Chain A
Amino acid sequence: MIEDLFSTTVLVGILASGIRLATPYLYAAIGETFGQRSGVLNLGVDGQMLLGAFAAFYVALTYQNLWLGILAAIIVGGLMGLAMAYVTVNLQAQQGISGIGFYLFGLGMSDLLFQKLLGTVETVRGFPSLYIPFLSDIPFLGDIFFRQNILVYLAYLLVPLAWFVMNKTTLGLKIRAVGENPEAADSLGVSVARVRYFSIILGGMLSGVAGASMSIALLNVFQQNMTSGLGFIAVALVYFGGWRPGGVLLGALLFSMVNALQLWIQVKGIQIPSDFAVMMPYVLTILVLVLAVQRVRPPSALTKPFERES
């Protein structure tokens, strides 16, 4: 059965689903990259994703409009980001702990809303596959890259866009400065609070979209804890990617490919316990982090609240 892996159909299938599965990682991890570059570690990504996933699913189901669902996810994620920003910037809470609090809030709240508003498992017709003219007809490559849904394409477009904002705009310069040396930025009249608010809220919005990409584009259902910790992997991917969008892309692809592989293994019923298969991405997370963390230095002010002396 293992030899099946090397047949082109299987390989193309795994690669195509790997490309697709990277979508939520990309939204969430790119969003988290902005937060962390500004000096804020948001561990609540998974909670933001769950609430975004539910909001998108519920709105899409109720109004039969997928883009309205995306908008709902952006708003809900943004509000979660706003709350996180208030707690970390104004109240100067310990970021690791408050992030876990927000995660638990999102986990519980999304399930509560699901029970109260829907109760039963339903499905939506999610974003359809969008065949890119000509490109989708290329043998193999067309199947792998160009027959995905719109949210997948947007996720990959987000990577160069994030790089551009981070490295070529005055906003990006401020974000990098604030995450590295907020005192210096402050002394030049950059509002540390405003930059961090912006970054955390943007991160929340993108986490919301990450959730939506699961509930109305990839899986087209909502269920309790449907992310199963994917948001935490997204946080890990930011470390793995060395706080760079390109690195994050690399990490997201690595994990989603392994995920696609383990899904295939499960479907095929190859004789390894499915628990081990499911474990693979997580074990990989730990291994990769051990190796990656020694490689690059995080933003110096990461997790450190900023307070102007007076």
Chain B
Amino acid sequence: MAQVEKRVPGTERIQTVEMRGITKRFPGVLANDKVDFDVRAGEVHALLGENGAGKSTLMKILYGMYAPDEGEILINDTHVEIHSPTDAIQYGIGMIHQHFMLVETLTVTENVALGLPSSRGLLTDLDAVSKRIRELAQVYGLQVDPNAYIWQLAVGQRQRVEIIKALYRGADLLILDEPTAVLTPQEVDEFFATIRQMVAEGHAIIFISHKLHEVLAISQRVTVLRDGKRVASRETAGCTKADLARMMVGREIRVMPEKPPAQVGDVMLELRQVQAQSDLGTAGLKGVSLQVYAGEILGLAGVSGNGQRELAQVVCGLRPITSGRVLLKNEDVTGMLPGELTKRMLAYIPEERMKDAMIQQFTVCENIILRDHNKPPYAQRGFLRHNIIGEYTDKLIQYFKVKTPSRDTQARHLSGGNIQKVVLARELSRQPRVLVAAQPTRGLDIGATEYVHNRLIEERQKGTAILLISEDLDEILALSDRIAVIYEGKIMGVVNRQEATAEQLGLLMAGVKEELTPA
């Protein structure tokens, strides 16, 4: 067997891992402030906190990716130095990153074998590796074809490969960084079954999350981080969602935004049998038909990579349509460029806000007028009118509560939440009739998420037709009036929010169609 059983002398299987007084400073940020954390064999210890609370930093220190400024790590009560992921792996620590560390053009087996010594010396021993993969898959319920290429696998399967990779390397402790973010509710159930199996086999699991119900469902203990400090560590049993939420954000939060009833008007955005290619040249959208009415939020649910990105780009004129039509307020706008759509009061909150919504090196002012920079009153005879632009920007900064040192600060210096506020300011201040919001709260903390949600609801009250694309099912359920589910470039069904359940949507997201009452 080619499995690595190399351990630093004196260490056997991991019984306890303890981090003591960990402090990590980045320029201008105290990411971890004297944090204590420990995990034992046979338990799931959840690490809970908002984005930027220091969860990932703490775990990257444990995995040898960052060096702590202060503090020490003990395995089985012995002090250890972990300088690199290789060290961590040798101590029996494995980490499943949020962004999978897989080579797409290699097979499952090749990915697992990569970097390991081979039993055949210089030659690869892929047959032996794939045999062992099947064994592991059997024990832990991680079904995956060892000979499949990674690019052929769905996200949930890729995650299984990551777990197999760690187990194959003899990991006793698995760090799971927001593992459920990419899964459907059904996949989450399967995944939890795997975790329970691993715990039963004596593995220790660290489960990083900001989803309260999952933490409650799977963990035995929970540690909450806030602003780099440990707020609390306690047994999960006996905690409630409200307790955890309060600890996490330091105040009461409203989990679900309240929403007045919809005042639905005419069809503002319509897609008729739209087909478009994906980046890889394969069929990305396979005949999508949708209607979005004024004054409603249509939520588009689906697992990542099922055509959401293509759909948003098609509507916003960023991706050519191979067949079908797009209509804005009954006008055929198929094939129109973004500039022409802008004139027709279409607004767009792109998924990749740092890349597609902003020019990072531009100031807040310049980003605010990106769409209208060549029109009066911001420009006259080709000259920008800085005073007017500045005053206008100041007004928006105030109204949209953007935290920025000044209007002349470059966008790249702003936090994710504030960048999103600038995007909202630019897009919403133009009083759009149709708004496409793609993953508008991804990567934002609870405060900023709440802000964005409220703005979207406000926009809905003004009568804007909103297409909300999100992979966060909770978000879809909280905001939408109707919910469409996309799977492999097709709409699986559209349901009214009142009639929708997470389970039913989960099935649709997994491509399982059942009888639904059409909305």
Whether A176 and B103, one on each chain, are in contact in the complex, defined by CB atoms closer than 8 angstroms, is yes
| CA of A173 to CA of B111, assembled, Å | 9
Contact A185 B103 (CB under 8 A): yes
The stretch from A5-13, A78-86, A164-172 touching chain B is: A164-172
What class of interface size applies to chain A in its complex with B?
20 to 34
A residues 154-182 near B (Cβ < 8 Å) are 168-174, 176-177, 180-181
Q: Is the CB of B123 within 8 A of A169?
A: yes
Q: Which residues of B contact A170 (CB under 8 A)?
A: 113, 117-118, 122-124
0 or 1 for each of B77-105: is its CB under 8 Å from A? (1 = yes)? 00000001110010000010100111111
Please, which residues of chain B bring their CB within 8 A of the CB of A310?
65-67
User: Are A189 and B104 also in contact (CB < 8 A) when A173-B113, A174-B114 are?
Assistant: no
Q: Per a CB cutoff under 8 Å, which of A173, A174, A181, A190 touches B104? A: A181
Q: How far is the CA of A185 from the CA of B385 in the complex (A)?
A: 51
Secondary structure dominating the interface of B: loop
Is B115's beta carbon under 8 Å from chain A? yes
Within 8 Å CB of B105, what residues of A? 176, 180, 299-300
Cβ-based interface call for A120 (8 A):
no
DSSP majority for the A interface? helix
Q: Contacts A187-B85, A189-B86, A309-B65: A181 and B122 contacting too (C-beta < 8 A)?
A: no
In the complex, which of the residues B100, B113, B115 contacts A189, with contact meaning CB atoms closer than 8 Å? B115
Interface residue A188 (Cβ < 8 Å from any Cβ of B): yes
- With A173-B110, A174-B114, A177-B114 as known contacts, state yes or no: A187 contacts B124, CB within 8 Å: no
**Hey, which chain A residues are within 8 Å of B84, CB to CB?**
189
| A180-B101 in contact (CB<8A) | no
User: Which of B67, B103, B123 is in CB contact (< 8 Å) with A184?
Assistant: B103
When the two chains form their complex, are residues B89 and A181 in contact, meaning their CB atoms are under 8 A apart?
no
Given A189-B85, A190-B114, also A184-B101 (CB < 8 A): yes
- Write the chain A residue with the least CB distance to B165: A188
**Bound CA–CA A36/B313 (angstroms):** 32
Give the residues from 121 to 157 in chain A that come closer than 8 angstroms, CB to CB, to chain B: none
Bound-complex Cα distance A309 to B85 (A): 12
Q: B106 at interface (Cβ–Cβ under 8 A)?
A: yes
**In angstroms, how far is the closest chain A Cβ from the Cβ of B93?**
12
Q: How far is the CA of A170 from the CA of B165 in the complex (A)?
A: 16
Bound Cα distance from A232 to B124, whole angstroms: 33
Q: List which A262-310 residues lie within 8 A (CB) of chain B.
A: 299-300, 308-310
Q: State which of A171, A181, A308 has its C-beta within 8 Å of the C-beta of B101.
A: A181
Q: Which of A180, A183, A189, A190 contacts B106 (CB 8 A)?
A: A180
- The residues in A between 79 and 119 inclusive whose CB is less than 8 angstroms from any CB of B are none
How far is the CB of A36 from the nearest CB of chain B, in Å? 13
Measuring CB to CB, which residues of chain A are less than 8 angstroms from any residue of chain B? 168-174, 176-177, 180-181, 183-190, 299-300, 308-310
A170-B113, A181-B103, A188-B115 given; name 6 further pairs at CB < 8 Å: A170-B122, A177-B114, A177-B115, A184-B100, A185-B114, A188-B116
What are some 13 contacts across the A-B interface (CB < 8 A)?
Answer: A169-B123, A170-B113, A173-B106, A173-B114, A177-B103, A183-B101, A184-B111, A187-B85, A188-B89, A188-B165, A189-B115, A299-B105, A310-B66
